[in-house]
């Protein structure tokens, strides 16, 4: 099966696209082509919505006009996969051109979605929309490839346990204050000393540059085992951190939280004071699969107590995703 993956510039989006390709590869053999999708400067969201909704004819022209994409250089795919708003119009137009189903990870708003074969929504609120399925957020973490984790049944088990911290940053739904970042650094230092946790820390694309020196200092002094600066290491550099005994993630990145859950580790989410409610995080917390703690004031005692009550998710999200996409692709979820 030939897959065309539409990748925008955000790692959280293109990791979902790549993750869906891995899901499909569990069902059948695949041949993957990738297309970097970058709209022209003037082709912003409302203009793309207008053209994809009201100018259905001649998709080759609009692909060139809006994206500088020359479809003549593309082989006909059997399926097109996208995530992130820049990929929506491109996916719809390519679907019209090639007659291949367009599968989108996320929920599309404001577009005519007649030519979208499937939307994978991450909240049950939209599960019954046309051509939609409620699924976990896809990702690239394979729990079968991670090392065994230590069982954490009591506070004493935390001494020497490997803990990973994945740091995001400001987003439309989350705004971090200086006190949030100061509290985070203090928490890592305090919990390493009080609980004996062996920390490995990674920043991401949105993380403030000021965090680098603070965590580099903690690494030099031996307080943490490792620090990965995203600006130097790039996307995917923190994948090994999901194999720790516990994974801690800032709440702004639902993608990173979902990958931590998929890793089948206990997960703690750190929330800034200024944050919109996240239906995805709320659903995980309601099932006991993570705990949400305030980033500015979390301490070792609260962290330890919350962590020992988290239930590790035993379900593999790839199975649920496979059941959702298989009918659209003419497959069965046990095709492999």
Q: What is the pLDDT of residues 247-287, one digit of tens each?
A: 999 999 999 999 999 999 999 999 999 999 888 899 899 88
CA-CA-CA-CA torsion sign (22, 230, 250, 240): positive
Q: How far is CA 63 from CA 34, 45, 191, in A?
A: 16, 14, 52
Tell me the domains of the chain and their CATH numbers: 2-134 (3.40.50), 143-307 (3.40.50.2000)
Which residues 6+ apart lie within 8 Å of 103 measured at CB?
Answer: 20, 79, 80, 81, 82, 117, 118, 120, 325, 328
Pairing outcome for strands 174-175 and 274-275: antiparallel
Q: What is the pLDDT of residue 53?
A: 63
Q: What is the pLDDT of residue 45?
A: 63
Averaged pLDDT score across all residues of the chain: 92
C-alpha to C-alpha distance for 204 and 199, rounded to whole angstroms? 17
Say if residue 336's pLDDT is above 80. Answer: no
What value does the mean pLDDT take over residues 240-246? 96
Say if residue 54's pLDDT is above 60. Answer: no
- HSE (CB half, 13 Å, CA atoms) of 136? 27
pLDDT band at 65 (very low <50, low <70, confident <90, very high): confident
Start-to-end C-alpha separation, the chain: 13
Instruction: Provide the token pair at 252.
Output: 């702004």
Say if residue 61's pLDDT is above 90. Answer: no
Q: What is the pLDDT of residue 298?
A: 94
C-alpha to C-alpha distance for 16 and 22, rounded to whole angstroms? 10
The C-alpha torsion from 242 through 9 and 17 to 30, rounded to 10°, is -110
C-alpha to C-alpha distance for 205 and 252, rounded to whole angstroms? 12
Say if residue 225's pLDDT is above 60. Answer: yes
What value does the mean pLDDT take over residues 101-123? 94
Q: What is the pLDDT of residue 203?
A: 95
What value does the mean pLDDT take over residues 121-142? 93
Say if residue 332's pLDDT is above 80. Answer: yes
pLDDT band at 208 (very low <50, low <70, confident <90, very high): very high
Q: What is the pLDDT of residue 39?
A: 86
Q: What is the pLDDT of residue 312?
A: 93
Of 291, 235, 298, the C-alpha closest to 268 is 291
Say if residue 232's pLDDT is above 90. Answer: no
């Amino acid at each position: 099966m030939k897959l065309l993956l539409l990748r925008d510039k955000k790692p959280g989006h293109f990791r979902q696209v790549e993750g869906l390709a891995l899901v499909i590869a569990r069902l059948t053999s695949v041949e993957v082509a990738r297309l970097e999708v970058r709209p022209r400067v003037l082709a912003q969201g409302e203009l793309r919505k207008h053209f994809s909704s009201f100018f259905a004819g001649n998709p080759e022209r609009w692909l060139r006009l809006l994206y500088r994409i020359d479809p003549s250089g593309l082989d006909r795919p059997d399926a097109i996969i996208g995530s992130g708003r820049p990929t929506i119009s491109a996916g719809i137009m390519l679907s019209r051109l090639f007659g291949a189903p367009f599968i989108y990870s996320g929920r599309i708003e404001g577009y005519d979605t007649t030519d979208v074969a499937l939307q994978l929504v991450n909240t049950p609120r939209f599960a019954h929309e046309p051509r939609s399925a409620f699924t976990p957020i896809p990702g690239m973490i394979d729990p079968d490839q991670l090392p065994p984790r230590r069982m954490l049944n009591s506070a004493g088990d935390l001494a020497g346990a490997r803990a990973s911290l994945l740091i995001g940053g400001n987003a439309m739904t989350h705004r971090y204050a200086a006190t949030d970042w100061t509290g985070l650094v203090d928490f890592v230092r305090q919990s390493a000393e009080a609980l004996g946790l062996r920390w490995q820390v990674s920043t991401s694309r949105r993380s403030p540059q000021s965090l680098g020196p603070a965590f580099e200092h903690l690494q030099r002094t031996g307080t943490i085992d490792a620090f990965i600066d995203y600006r130097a290491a790039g996307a995917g550099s923190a994948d090994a951190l999901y194999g720790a005994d516990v994974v801690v993630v800032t709440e702004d990145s639902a993608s990173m939280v979902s990958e931590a859950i998929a890793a089948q580790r206990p997960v703690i989410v750190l929330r800034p004071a200024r944050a919109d409610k996240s239906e995805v995080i709320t659903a995980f917390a309601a099932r006991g699969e993570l705990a949400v703690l305030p980033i500015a004031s979390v301490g070792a005692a609260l962290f330890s107590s919350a962590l020992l009550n988290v239930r590790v998710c035993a379900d593999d999200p790839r199975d649920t995703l496979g059941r959702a996409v298989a009918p659209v692709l003419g497959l069965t979820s046990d095709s492999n």
